Amino acid sequence: AIHALYSGQGVQQSEANAFLMRFSESDEAWQTAIQLISRAQGGDNLEDQTAYIASSVLHSKVCKNWKQLALEQRAELGSSVMQMLTAVAQGQLRVGRVVVSRLSLVLAAVSMRSDEGMTVLVTHALGISSLQTPVAVSVALDMLKDVPDEIENGDLSRQRKMELKDELTRHLENVLQLC
């Protein structure tokens, strides 16, 4: 379907898009998206497109269907995304920068909806940056750069947004060390 979406024409593209939209609403989309991203080896345009769509599906599902997940599934999702970003930073998972950005948005969306808030995300980003490679620092910065916008535009109460902004402010000194 992804191949048809990007390289198909007319009806074929429309059908592929409709299929992917239906699939993204399914319960299986969570796990399938994680599996598709985890298998990416880079260098293949179709793999990058697949990983991008899969990460976009995850972001959409977190924003729209978060409450449908059981608590252990929520924790597993956050952990899976952190593991993927760590694997990218360590050179074990090769995906395009746009996929890293999208995964970072997924992690921000998960973090702002979790009880731990932004502390886990910031701590993990700082841990990745301690690898001190250009790729690791880039991944760490990607993990943090869109967090303020994600908080501002998220479907959260005003009170929750203020709490998250305060939490980010407390981490500011450590985050600035990355720059």
**Using one digit for the tens of pLDDT, what is the confidence trace for 84-111?**
999 999 999 989 999 999 999 999 999 9
| pTM of the complete model | 0.86
Q: State which H helix or E strand residue 76 sits in.
A: helix 71-89
Per-residue model confidence (pLDDT) at position 107: 96
Distance CA 99, CA 93 (A): 11
Per-residue model confidence (pLDDT) at position 44: 59
Pick from 150, 94, 96: which is nearest to 121 by CA? Answer: 150
Domain count, the chain: 1
Q: What is the pLDDT of residues 12-33, one digit of tens each?
A: 666 666 666 677 777 888 888 8
Distance CA 11, CA 17 (A): 10
Per-residue model confidence (pLDDT) at position 17: 62
Q: In Å, how far are 9, 44, 86, 120, 147 from 129, measured between CA atoms?
A: 43, 27, 10, 14, 17
Q: Residue 156, SS3?
A: coil
Higher-confidence position of 175 and 96: 96
Residue at token pair 């952990």: 79
Residue at token pair 């702002």: 112
Per-residue model confidence (pLDDT) at position 143: 94
Q: Residue 56, SS3?
A: helix
Quote the domain boundaries for residue 24: 2-176
